[in-house]
Structures are given as C-alpha cells and as structure tokens.
C-alpha cells in the first residue's frame, strides 16, 4: 500500500486582503495568513486522530498543502465580510476531529458563533464526546475589492 500520508498537525490561520481583483485580494489574504506562497489544496474537513495543534507551521514554498477553509470576497465598498473556521476535538484520541467553515457578509461574532455551533453539531450527530473547541476568524470592511480567509492547514511533523 502506497499513498499520501495522513497529516499529523494542524494550524489555524486567517488573513484579509485588498487588491484590484478578487483573486488578487484572495492571494493577499493568503499572504496575510502566512500561507500565500504555498499551493493550498481544498479538502473536506477532518482533523486526523491525535493530530497536534501547532501555532505556526513551516511550509515548503510552492508545496501542496491540504487545507479546509472559509473565504469570501466583495467589491461593495463599505461592506463587512467575515470568514471563520472551528475545530472540534474528541475526548477519545483514536477518533478524528471535525473542521467546519463559514463565511458571510456579517460581523465576525455572528459568523464565528455559527461555525462553532456547526462544529458542535457535527460531534452531536457523530455521538462523539467533545474535548476542545477552537475557532479562528477575521472580519474586514471592504474598501473597493476585499477578501477574507480563515483556514485549518494540515501538515506533518
């Protein structure tokens, strides 16, 4: 058996960006989040069993980085945009955790409360006992063209 190894760490990151196009604003938000010079590969949204939370992660430039993320952009001047992710971790370290993502044109408090509830719900219907619930998010008021990003990066140590 020969496969992609399962990651064993996760890191929560966030950023906002303003640029001349939506994609550049997203790129600047990734740079602000500290992962702008990597290739993020979107995935749904599980923390491998016993994966360790790290505060910073040293990613290879141009590396392929599995990431669960929320993002939203807007070209409406003055609009509030927010993105957040929540991570629920189980009592039983042999079981996986769950990552949930949410974004909206709402204050961060609204978006982050909702994504935390979503992660709790994901444990409830799994009949899994919650040990820790982390979240990270960011709110931004658009000038001309802005984007926000919040993500859980999976990696290796």
Binding segment for its own copies (CB under 8 A), chosen from 62-70, 72-80, 105-113, 135-143, is: 62-70
Map residue 57 onto helix, strand or coil.
Answer: coil
For its own copies, give the closer residue by CB, 42 or 131: 42
Binding segment for its own copies (CB under 8 A), chosen from 72-80, 104-112, 118-126, 135-143, is: 118-126
Active site residues: 39, 44-45, 101
Map residue 96 onto helix, strand or coil.
Answer: coil
DSSP codes of every residue in 141-157: E-SSSEEEEEEEEEE--
Q: Based on the number of CB atoms within 10 Å of its own CB, is 46 exposed (0-12), middle (13-18) or buried (19 or more)? A: middle
User: In angstroms, rounded to a whole number, what is the distance separating the alpha carbons of residues 28 and 147?
Assistant: 8
Does 4 participate in binding its own copies (rule CB under 8 A)?
yes
Q: Are 116 and 133 in contact (CB under 8 A)?
A: yes
Judged by CB under 8 A, the number of residues near its own copies is: 56
Does 33 participate in binding its own copies (rule CB under 8 A)?
no
Report in angstroms how near the CB of residue 58 gets to its own copies at its nearest: 10
H or E element, residue 139: strand 130-141
Torsion angles phi and psi, residue 27, rounded to 5: -60, -40
State the binding string over 67-106 for its own copies (x if CB under 8 A, else -): -x--------------------------xx-x-xxx----
Does 39 participate in binding its own copies (rule CB under 8 A)?
yes
User: In angstroms, rounded to a whole number, what is the distance separating the alpha carbons of residues 100 and 85?
Assistant: 5
Q: Which residues bind its own copies (CB under 8 A)?
A: 1-7, 19-21, 23-24, 26-28, 30-31, 36-49, 51, 60-64, 66, 68, 95-96, 98, 100-102, 114, 117-118, 121-122, 125-126, 154-157
């Amino acid at each position: 058996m020969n496969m992609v190894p399962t990651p064993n760490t996760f890191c929560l990151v966030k950023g906002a960006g303003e640029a001349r196009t939506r994609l550049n604003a997203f790129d600047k938000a990734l740079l602000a989040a500290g992962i702008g010079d990597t290739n993020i590969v979107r995935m749904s949204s599980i923390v491998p069993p016993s994966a360790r939370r790290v505060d910073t992660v040293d990613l290879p430039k141009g590396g392929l980085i599995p990431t669960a993320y929320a993002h939203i952009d807007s070209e409406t001047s003055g609009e509030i945009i927010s993105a957040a992710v929540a991570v629920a971790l189980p009592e039983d370290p042999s079981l996986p955790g769950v990552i949930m993502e949410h974004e909206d044109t709402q204050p961060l408090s609204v978006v982050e409360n909702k994504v935390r509830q979503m992660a709790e719900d994901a444990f409830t219907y799994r009949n899994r006992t919650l040990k820790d619930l982390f979240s990270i998010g960011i709110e931004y008021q658009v000038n001309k063209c802005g984007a926000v990003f919040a993500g859980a990066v999976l990696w290796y140590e």
